[in-house]
Amino acid sequence: MIKDRHNLIAIILVILFGIGLFYIGTDGFRAFTAESARTYEILQDKPEFPPVTLEDSHERTYAFDEFAKGNYVFLTFMYTSCTTVCPQLEMNMADVYEQIPSKYIGEDIVFLSISFDPERDDPSTLTKYRSYFGSDGETWRMARINDQAELDSLLEKLGVIVIPDGNGDFTHNSAFYFIGKTGHLQQVMDYTKIDEAADTVVNILNSEEGE
């Protein structure tokens, strides 16, 4: 009986020690994977959107700040030649867009899809691509960043991983990015959880309206 009790205590201590190590190693259970760890770290810093020049589907060129105009920005990164995750990402973005009350669209929040394949995703290609998802080209724009240094800086700031595979495609992570009115990253959302993302945005917009 005493031996069994000692064994039980030893097992409990080992489990508690393991939980303690896991807690430390995952930053309080928040970072279970490399991706979630990277996202958590970025959200702690809330980086500011770096200066970039966008060229959209209408061949207009302007700074990100000029597009945002002090609004919230709901953002994705994609490339039009993608046949896997990007079409689903943009379809889900369209669903979020549709769930935002129209009184906020263009007044408090704008939507933006940025291509990380500027060589192929010229304005005419972006025009065709946005037509698949109902992007109006105004309150939801699709654009590219022609300056590679600016693009690289933006991807690094927001933790977007883009790795060319040598065959014209890319390995990349995907998410919804929510930029605050001051130009700082506020949220990184799971793009597969459409209703949750929409609810988060609407709650933020509603709470601000009530202030």
Model confidence pLDDT, tens digit, residues 100-157: 999 999 999 999 999 999 999 999 999 999 999 999 999 999 999 999 999 999 999 9
DSSP of 60-96: -EEEHHHHHTTSEEEEEEE-TT--SHHHHHHHHHHHH
> Which residue bears the tokens 């209408």?
58
Instruction: Output the pLDDT for position 171.
Output: 87
Global pTM? 0.82
